[in-house]
């Protein structure tokens, strides 16, 4: 069994869609988030450090144009890629004033060799005016637009515990509105949040499938020093599942997920330094290999149990199935 038959992987999907290899160019802009600036709260999500998930990007004092051209030169040389997606990665990119947002998107859209723009944000920061503008630019420049929503879990009790500042309802509302504009939608999910169990893993897969979410990025929880979660971890207040259990959850998630959903990432990478816990001290690519090997051994594949829900009538699926 190849990776493509185990699950629908992103690089193969892009190759099929555009007829060649495509690479995402990260853009890291100075910014904040309503969950950090006092609008919703000041502490942010309990796992968030000050980088706002932009730790793989160039410094944010560089302009959009500079970041895109530097990253493009690097990836072209290293991977011989000729077409790209501009990826606004850090913080809440639709939380900046509309005029600044437009300026950033227009700057990116002028970059040559771009097939699309991907924008990372929160589910409660999707104003219609931003979507309308994106629709104009998409038509004008012939670009595909993806909105990446941080969800983390569909368990709304866990969302409160991790201080996300939004609920499941806001994610559903955002996803439906994004789809109405014809954009693709990506959900970021953490399958090992403290308090979530296997039923939550299955619910994650079922709800994302029901919403026809196009892309999923899976991360395992990492714990950074000087965050609320870091302090809880140092006091022994956080209980984490084992790597073996995590692998089981990822496979379970894939089995219940629609076979149409594309997996952008199976295992996340943690930031360098300041880490208290990350991927069970195992490199992400080893974990990816372990998941794929286990799937092959078990004969598992993405969508294996999805048919029960949608093809053969609703069943009361439980983790023991
Ligand atoms: S939504 Fe993102 S940037 Fe905002 S606090 Fe949470 S992880 Fe940090």
Domains and CATH numbers, the chain: 3-310 (3.20.20.70)
Main-chain dihedrals φ then ψ at residue 281, nearest 5 degrees: 55, 30
Averaged over successive runs of 10 residues, the pLDDT of the chain (321 residues) comes to 81 96 92 88 86 64 92 91 93 89 96 96 95 97 97 97 96 98 98 97 97 96 94 96 98 97 93 88 96 98 80 48 43
Q: What is the pLDDT of residue 273?
A: 75
Q: Tell me, what's the pLDDT at 99?
A: 95
Running DSSP on this structure, what letter comes out for residue 270?
A: P
Rounded to the nearest angstrom, the distance between the alpha carbon of 25 and the centre of ligand 1 is 21
Q: Which two tokens stand for residue 125?
A: 């920061």
**Confidence at residue 30, expressed as pLDDT on a 0 to 100 scale:** 82
Q: Tokens standing for 168? A: 């499941």
pLDDT at 49: 81
Tokens of 139: 């038509």
- Ligand 1 contacts CB of residue 249 (under 6 A): no
Residue 48 CB–ligand 1 contact under 6 Å: yes
CB of 198 within 8 A of CB of 319? Answer: yes
From ligand 1's centre to the CA of 3, what distance in Å?
32
Nearest CA to 89 out of 70, 111, 113, 67 is that of: 67
Question: For 122, which DSSP code?
Answer: -
Distance, CA of 88 to CA of 54 (rounded, Å): 9
User: Which pLDDT score is estimated for 288?
Assistant: 97
Is the CB of 246 inside a 6 Å radius of any atom of ligand 1?
Answer: no
| Distances 101 to 30, 90, 107, 139 between C-alpha atoms, Å | 12, 14, 10, 17
DSSP 135-190: HHHHHHHT-EEEEEEEEE-S-HHHHHHTT-S--HHHHHHHHHHHHHTT-EEEEEEE
| pLDDT of 315 | 46
**What's the N-to-C CA distance of the chain in angstroms?**
24
Atom of ligand 1 nearest to the CA of 122: 1
Long-range contact set of residues 63-71: C-beta below 8 Å, sequence gap at least 24? 63/107, 64/27, 64/29, 64/104, 64/107, 64/108, 65/107, 65/110, 65/111, 67/25, 67/26, 67/27, 67/28, 68/25, 68/27, 68/108, 68/111, 69/111, 71/25, 71/26
Mutational pocket test of ligand 1: of 37, 91, 188, the residue with most ligand atoms within 8 Å of the beta carbon: 91
Closest CA to 33 of 14, 50, 18: 50
Distances (CA, A) of 93 to 104, 150, 221: 10, 12, 22
CA proximity to 261, closest of 187, 150, 200, 177:
187
pLDDT for 59: 80
Q: Six-digit token pair at 175?
A: 């996803």
Query: For ligand 1, atom 6, which residue shows the shortest CA distance?
Result: 45
DSSP 8-state class, residue 267: S
**3-class secondary-structure state, position 234:** helix
């Amino acid at each position: 069994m190849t990776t493509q038959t185990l699950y629908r992987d992103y690089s193969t999907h892009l190759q099929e869609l555009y007829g060649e290899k495509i690479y995402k160019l990260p853009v890291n802009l100075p910014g904040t988030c309503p969950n950090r600036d006092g609008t919703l709260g000041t502490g942010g999500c309990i796992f968030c450090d000050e980088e706002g998930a932009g730790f793989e990007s160039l410094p944010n004092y560089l302009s959009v144009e500079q970041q895109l051209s530097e990253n493009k030169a690097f990836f072209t040389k290293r991977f011989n890629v000729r077409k790209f997606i501009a990826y606004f990665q850090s913080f809440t990119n639709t939380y900046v004033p509309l005029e600044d947002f437009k300026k950033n998107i227009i700057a990116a859209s002028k970059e040559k060799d771009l097939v699309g723009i991907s924008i990372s944000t929160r589910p409660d920061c999707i104003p219609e005016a931003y979507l309308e503008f994106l629709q104009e630019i998409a038509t004008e420049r012939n670009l595909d637009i993806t909105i990446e929503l941080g969800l983390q879990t569909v368990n709304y009790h866990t969302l409160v515990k991790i201080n996300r500042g939004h609920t499941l309802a806001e994610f559903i509302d955002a996803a439906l509105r994004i789809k109405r504009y014809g954009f693709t939608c990506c959900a970021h999910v953490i399958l090992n949040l403290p308090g979530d169990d296997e039923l939550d893993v299955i619910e994650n897969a079922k709800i994302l499938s029901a919403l026809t979410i196009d892309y999923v990025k899976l991360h395992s929880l990492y714990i950074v020093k000087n965050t609320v979660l870091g302090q809880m971890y140092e006091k022994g207040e956080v209980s984490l599942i084992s790597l073996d259990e995590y692998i089981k959850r990822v496979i379970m998630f894939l089995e219940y997920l629609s076979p149409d959903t594309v997996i952008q990432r199976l295992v996340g990478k943690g930031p360098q330094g300041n880490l208290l816990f990350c991927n069970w001290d195992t490199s992400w690519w080893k974990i990816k290999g372990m998941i794929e090997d286990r799937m092959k051994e078990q004969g598992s594949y993405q969508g294996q149990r999805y048919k029960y829900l949608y093809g053969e009538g609703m069943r009361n699926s439980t983790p023991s199935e």
